[in-house]
Chain A
């Protein structure tokens, strides 16, 4: 089985600050990869490189075998095949929930308005927010906003869903509903890469956990192994800090 997303030796620096020093990461179809690591370890940078929001300095990212970091590649066309959700400020505040979801299908994928609308309403129904389709994002709770952001990403039928700490900015009582949706989406077979601090969730839902440290994937494997019995001392250190913070 060939990987949907294949990150090979990616290097990325901001000036003097070398954030990624040769990251390798292969994500097979229908798999969920959880990206863990300390704050500033480069999780967001890696996801931004994979979604072509940053230009890599070296290495490659392959999407379905195609090198998308090749400068001759049409970056807009590549992004159309990806779904991305960030920590916050995902939804466009001047557009209704429905318009947020139909924007890309209509403007980017050239679907008809009525078709996009119908599909968007179906998605909103699925996430239990059909009654909010006419509302503006600021009338929704943070958890509802993130769920709409996931629905919007799914509306373009992406090959892979990239989630960057999508629950980190939420009040604790809103985290559950968002993670439940991610689990559902994963169970339906979506390929997912998610940077997260929710170790319990990673343990239950991820097929692979990757620990990012000092610009490389220091350790990766099944969650039970990486989270339960890590090989690397630095992974253990990181996890014990997380446990102290009460998140495992």
Chain B
């Protein structure tokens, strides 16, 4: 109902004919589609590589942050500083600093590909977020579980690997999938470095034709990419809720 009203209002507005041709031109969409799709492949590659790195790094940082005892204070401090820094810094600034700052140092061995640098920047930011998600998960595991693990003779590492982390990950899977959806669209930001991804490909096309339809095409492709993950996240959350309701206290 609302959609119908909105549609009628928008299509009957005085500016609509002009908007239709500059944003929703079928012809432009068809022309720009192949190059945007090629760009999207770059985004997908960044997404997959970044997701793996984010999970590994995030877990490591969370494990450091949750170490107990005064001996680990320096490690805890470093992990906390990392999280504060990269969670506070806007992703776009991190992208500029890593993408343009690192190569400017002209050090041996520093990659110059915007693909690599963009991925690094995204991993820095998202691992800080995901570390916090994992930390919440680790702290949600009941203290008796740790005591039970240690009293069986497991070492601290074994306790984390076999008992705490699997439960922690399970508890935060819905939140992680949510972050994954956010990551799926933020990989489009590597375009600010000049990497020819979907957004950049669209931009080039817009620059040549002064028609904004390619942006709409790129946007819709990102939405299509996000939909399956969003549905999976829904299903996982629903399952977690059911398990919580049926789970006994003991």
Contact = CB atoms under 8 A, between A and B. Distances in A.
Interface of A: 48, 51, 53, 76-77, 79-80, 82-84, 86-94, 103-104, 107-109, 138, 141-142, 145-146, 149, 152, 156, 169-170
A151 to B, nearest CB: 13
Given A86-B148, A90-B148, A93-B167, A108 B250 contact: no
B93 interface: no
Contacts, number: 78
Given A79-B153, A94-B166, A152-B152, A142 B144 contact: no
B250 A145 contact: yes
B152 A138 contact: no
Contacts of A84: 147-148, 151
Interface of B: 142, 144-145, 147-155, 158, 162-163, 166-167, 170, 243, 246-250
A76 B147 contact: no
Most buried by A among B142, B153, B166, B250: B250
B158 A138 contact: no
Contacts of B149: 92
Contacts of B166: 94
A79 B150 contact: yes
Given A93-B167, A103-B162, A108-B153, A138 B148 contact: no
Contact of B153 (A86, A104, A169): A104
Given A76-B155, A94-B166, A104-B152, A88 B247 contact: no
The dominant DSSP class at the B interface is helix
B119 to A, nearest CB: 32
Contacts of A91: 148
Contacts of A92: 145, 148-149, 162-163, 167
Contacts of B147: 48, 53, 84, 86
Given A79-B150, A104-B153, A94 B170 contact: yes
